[in-house]
Amino acid sequence: MDDEWNADRANQVLRETLDEIGELEDKLSPARAEALLDEFEHDIRRAFIRQDLSAVMNDCEEYVRRFRALSEEE
């Protein structure tokens, strides 16, 4: 995979992730969803500031997994 910064690709991955998280967050308690979204926002912002495409992709994958796991628990 080419890790060179590509803002269009990073934004696409982020949009897809937010769509998936949006579907999963409805299954969580509001407080739990908000806390995890705040954490995601912090991490993804850092990846965008560093212009690190692999970090954006890794963060997105990690948070989808976390949302999915938590939604299965509740």
pLDDT, tens only, 26-48: 899 999 999 999 999 999 999 99
Give a yes or no: residue 2 inside a domain. no
Q: How many domains does the chain have?
A: 1
Domain extent at residue 12: 7-73
Report yes or no on 34 lying in a domain.
Answer: yes
Q: Is residue 1 part of a domain?
A: no
Mean pLDDT, residues 49-72 taken together: 96
Domain membership of residue 20 (yes or no) is: yes
Helix (H) or strand (E) holding 58: helix 53-73
Residue 44 is predicted with a pLDDT of: 98
43 lies in some domain:
yes
Q: Kindly tell me the sign of the dihedral angle through the C-alpha atoms of 49, 53, 8, 39.
A: negative
Confidence class of residue 2 from pLDDT cuts 50, 70 and 90? low
Q: Residue 25 — pLDDT band, cuts 50, 70, 90?
A: confident
Query: Is the model's pLDDT at 69 over the cut of 90?
Result: yes
User: Considering the entire predicted model, what is its pTM?
Assistant: 0.89
User: Could you tell me if residue 28 is left (phi over 0), alpha (psi between -120 and 50 degrees) or otherwise beta?
Assistant: beta
Residue 31 is which amino acid? Answer: A
